[in-house]
Amino acid sequence: MDAKVLKYIEDHRDEYVELVRKLCQQPSQASTGEGIPEMIELVVSSLKAVGAEPRLCETPGNPVVYAYIEGENNKHTFGFYDHYDVQPVDPIELWDDDPYSAVIKDGVIYARGVADNKNGLATKLCAVDAYMKVYGKIPCNVKFFVEGEEEIGSPNLPYFAEHYEDLLDCDGFNWESGWKEPGGAPEIHLGNKGLLYVEYVVKTAKMDAHSCNAAIVKNPAWRLIEFLTSIKDPKTDRILIDGFYDDIIPPTEDDIENLKQDNFDEEGQKEYLGIDGYIGGLTGLELLKKNYYMPTANICGMVSGYIGEGSKTVLPGCASAKMDFRLVPGQKAEKILQLLKDHMHKNGFDDVQLIVHSYQDPFRAAPDSPFVKAVYSTLDELFGTPVVHYMVSGTSPMPLFCKKKNIPAALFGATSTKANIHAPNEHLEVESYIDEIKMIAGVMEALGKLD
Amino acid sequence: MDAKVLKYIEDHRDEYVELVRKLCQQPSQASTGEGIPEMIELVVSSLKAVGAEPRLCETPGNPVVYAYIEGENNKHTFGFYDHYDVQPVDPIELWDDDPYSAVIKDGVIYARGVADNKNGLATKLCAVDAYMKVYGKIPCNVKFFVEGEEEIGSPNLPYFAEHYEDLLDCDGFNWESGWKEPGGAPEIHLGNKGLLYVEYVVKTAKMDAHSCNAAIVKNPAWRLIEFLTSIKDPKTDRILIDGFYDDIIPPTEDDIENLKQDNFDEEGQKEYLGIDGYIGGLTGLELLKKNYYMPTANICGMVSGYIGEGSKTVLPGCASAKMDFRLVPGQKAEKILQLLKDHMHKNGFDDVQLIVHSYQDPFRAAPDSPFVKAVYSTLDELFGTPVVHYMVSGTSPMPLFCKKKNIPAALFGATSTKANIHAPNEHLEVESYIDEIKMIAGVMEALGKLD
């Protein structure tokens, strides 16, 4: 990678750290609206400072800040997706410092948003800045997309993707950031599961009644259980919705090869979660295949009747459960939703109310696309052989930006999985932050070198 | 019934109403201890005022106040079970008046405890008082048992029944009170279901995790559901524990005849609970048979994971459910508990933690016992043909006092099912209160006339 740019980044560490601190010192909670207008101004002025002419793309909610900067090679474009909103700071009493002070202690910055994901915007701004300062130009075009509602589920991102579709063209996206443990190998994530999040509500009476009625009055908790066991057999873990598995594209030989290099820490994760083992006693390759390539019907929560201390003899009037289906390549969220509705109707569960919270298709970026190759070679050069994950078990809104135009997207960056995102004492090592600036700058350079 | 005593009761209505008001004006919450010592003093002084020499029977908790008064016919004894503690008054803001003011409006007394169950103690005191005042003696022996922890589940009543067993001998108990709607027929309840209240806890991890782990990490909610469906088939409503139904004594022809006169208000109860109909579309006799003579496995409450608004993609670390089994004649709570434990072990559910909250056997009083006959004829004479319920679907601690010595017990009295017991604006009509005094006095008289 360009030595002058690398040196410039190193020489201006303090200035760049100040930028992310400044972004973090501005509260910006989408859930309450706190600080959002001020944050938008800050994003706009920060983009202007690196030579962009940002545009506010209005949506029914907070606007998406968009900015395009043309590069020396203007045939290739690096897309940046980040968000300017952050999680709430509660429980505030568990923070060691003011979450908006962005205090630095022992080379670590502590602030709400410093790892999720104001670092993402900051590192991209710094990478652009470094090239601008050294060469007065950047190697390839870049497009910033900075949304303001990620932490409340990006409710207006579908609207944005539809109404500003023309803006989305690019060689590939960096989605927020990614993981590289301090001293560890960089990671590249190229795909993720889809999601269908629903809630089931069974209401049998207008109130909870005395449980002496239980012999003759229907119990909604039992009815919910009857319904849930029609969705999945808890014993076999098999989802029982007709057609649910039909469209799944099983992992290819290449996918399996990729899994064989996966660095999933079986023991570490067991210890972290405090579990004895994995479902079915799976380990190794079989565990990874299930983790990344098998869908789920997971009960996120359920509640009915009396849940306080001790005993109360009550016959509940209502029962509900929240469920997320994680979907794998080949499955389409809308189709699965339809299959679920058909299942409910066909099996006589019309008394179960279905609430659809959100859905998102699964997504995969082609590992052999020029963009992904550029990311790989850059990270390889800077930090050693990357660990490439074709799939992760989580979900992202990447398909909204990428699916229609078949644009690749990659999560990569230098945050830690132990950065306490969404939790008190969110933090990021200064060293990791600087590494991430180098990654972005390096990929810009690599894209600039493409034909 | 004795005309002079009836007249005395009528003539002293105001004085008798003052007595129950005085008892209600003294707070006495077992849950907090508020007013308990003062209440005990008040119970003692009230008993002394009618000629008794009360004794405090110590238990590990609040004492049971016991008093014996010998009757003219000292071969027969009427047992009174009541409690001097009351439910909490919360939500206090929903009361129209101070719950301890015992205000009278339009012939109705409003107070915490006025219907559950300070009326029970008061009407018995008044019945004794009326006889004492008219004749200087009472027709039969009476025994007062006034406990102080009923509203917290009578945790020390088993201790009392065991340690003061000798005191319990009598012809029969009036258990607290009973129901007679204003202008309606008196009711007599002679039996009730037993209860086994348990809680199941499934803990699979030390915390809730991100639901992207759901493909490989066990979900305790699903495991709980697997377990619960091993307890009961929600589709058929059949309890699947081996031996669960073995000891049930099915209703006899006499029981069925009794059911045929039952005044269960099918439509009214449907409207009250806001339900469309009863389990299996049952009505009439079949509905009553199931209600009174079939056991239940009822989910009183269950909870797991995220139960707030909206969606959260979480894999719960813990799931739990509270269940009450209502038991019917023939079943024994301790045996059912053992069958449940066996079931869990035999079917591989040792990972499910079982917490036993309480248990109580079912109970039946013989309808042809002299005591029950005396109750029947008294109520018949005073208020017209009683409705006799051989069984109710609820549970009481009656077996503690009655089972060993095969003593009958009957719930009868003149409170309303709409008296808001355990709720704001608990109330009792003055007229009903006076009726209840007459009932007690009448049964005393009838017992006094026995050989």
Nearest CA-CA distance, residue A244 and chain B, Å: 15
Distance of CA B64 to the CA centre of its chain: 17
Q: Does B313 share its domain with B397?
A: no
Q: What is the Cα–Cα distance from B84 to B113, expressed in whole angstroms? A: 9
Q: What is the Cα–Cα distance from B356 to B337, expressed in whole angstroms? A: 9
Q: What would the pLDDT profile of A101-115 be if each residue is shown by its tens digit?
A: 999 999 999 999 999
Indicate whether B288 belongs to any domain. Answer: no
Q: What would the pLDDT profile of A232-256 be if each residue is shown by its tens digit?
A: 999 999 999 999 999 999 999 999 9
Indicate whether B275 belongs to any domain. Answer: no
What is the structure's pLDDT at B181?
83
Q: How confident is the model at residue A21 (pLDDT cuts 50, 70, 90)?
A: very high
Q: What is the Cα–Cα distance from B8 to A299, expressed in whole angstroms? A: 66
What is the structure's pLDDT at A214?
96
Q: Does B11 share its domain with B155?
A: yes
Please indicate if any CB of chain A lies within 8 Å of the CB of B250: no
Residue from the list A225, A312, A394 with its beta carbon closest to the beta carbon of B234: A225
Residue from the list A222, A290, A298 with its beta carbon closest to the beta carbon of B219: A298
Q: Does B95 share its domain with B218?
A: no
The answer to whether residues B252 and B380 touch, using CB atoms and an 8 Å cutoff, is no
Nearest CA-CA distance, residue A268 and chain B, Å: 14
Indicate whether B423 belongs to any domain. Answer: yes
Please say if the pLDDT value at position B396 is more than 90: no
Residue from the list A217, A282, A291 with its beta carbon closest to the beta carbon of B275: A217
Across the A:B interface, residue pairs with CB atoms under 8 Å apart total: 228
Indicate whether B268 belongs to any domain. Answer: no
**Which of B373, B263, B377, B222 lies closest to A236, judged by CA?**
B222
Q: Does B115 share its domain with B91?
A: yes
Tell me the torsion sign for CA atoms A162, A164, A166, A171. negative
What is the structure's pLDDT at B397?
86
Which of the listed residues A332, A360, A388 is the one where a domain comes to its end? A360
* Phi (first) and psi of residue B238, to 5 degrees: -90, 130
The tokens for A362 are 């699964």
> Percent of chain A, pLDDT > 70?
100
Please indicate if any CB of chain B lies within 8 Å of the CB of A197: yes
Residue from the list A226, A234, A287 with its beta carbon closest to the beta carbon of B234: A226
Which of helix, strand or coil describes residue B77?
strand
3-state secondary structure B312-360: CCEECCEEEEEEEEEECCCCCHHHHHHHHHHHHHHCCCCCEEEEEEEEE
Q: What would the pLDDT profile of B169-223 be if each residue is shown by its tens digit?
A: 999 999 999 999 888 899 999 999 999 999 999 999 988 888 999 999 999 999 9
Q: Does B321 share its domain with B376?
A: no
Tell me the torsion sign for CA atoms A146, A115, A414, A186. negative
Indicate whether A8 belongs to any domain. Answer: yes
Indicate whether A255 belongs to any domain. Answer: no
Q: Does B315 share its domain with B399?
A: no
Test the A interface: residue of B313, B323, B350 with most A CBs within 10 Å: B313
The verdict on a CB contact (< 8 Å) between A218 and B393 is no
Q: Across all residues in chain B, what is the average pLDDT?
A: 95
Nearest CA in chain A to B311: A357
Please indicate if any CB of chain A lies within 8 Å of the CB of B76: no
Q: Does A52 share its domain with A94?
A: yes
Indicate whether B257 belongs to any domain. Answer: no
Residue from the list B228, B307, B324 with its beta carbon closest to the beta carbon of A211: B324
Q: Does A343 share its domain with A381?
A: no
Please indicate if any CB of chain A lies within 8 Å of the CB of B395: yes
What is the structure's pLDDT at B153?
80
Domain CATH for B209 = 3.30.70.360
Total count of domains within chain B: 2
| Non-local CB neighbours of A267 within 8 Å, separated by 6+ positions | none
**Which of A337, A300, A333, A302 lies closest to A316, judged by CA?**
A302
The verdict on a CB contact (< 8 Å) between B306 and A301 is yes
Which of the listed residues B327, B360, B393 is the one where a domain comes to its end? B360
Name the maximum alpha-carbon separation found in chain A.
81
Prediction pTM value: 0.89
Please indicate if any CB of chain A lies within 8 Å of the CB of B152: no
Which range marks the domain in which residue A349 is found?
Answer: 195-248+295-360
At which residue do the structure tokens 């493409």 appear? A450
The verdict on a CB contact (< 8 Å) between B393 and A212 is yes
The tokens for B17 are 């109403």
Q: Does A354 share its domain with A372?
A: no
Which of the listed residues B342, B360, B378 is the one where a domain comes to its end? B360
Indicate whether B272 belongs to any domain. Answer: no
Q: Does A105 share its domain with A161?
A: yes
What is the structure's pLDDT at B274?
92
Q: What is the Cα–Cα distance from A79 to A409, expressed in whole angstroms? A: 9
Domain CATH for B80 = 3.40.630.10
Q: Does A63 share its domain with A121?
A: yes
Q: Does B337 share its domain with B401?
A: no
Q: What is the Cα–Cα distance from B21 to B415, expressed in whole angstroms? A: 16
The answer to whether residues B353 and B433 touch, using CB atoms and an 8 Å cutoff, is no
Please say if the pLDDT value at position A183 is more than 90: no
Please indicate if any CB of chain A lies within 8 Å of the CB of B216: yes
Nearest CA-CA distance, residue A12 and chain B, Å: 37
Residue from the list A275, A292, A301 with its beta carbon closest to the beta carbon of B305: A301
Q: What would the pLDDT profile of A51-79 be if each residue is shown by its tens digit?
A: 999 999 999 999 999 999 999 999 999 99
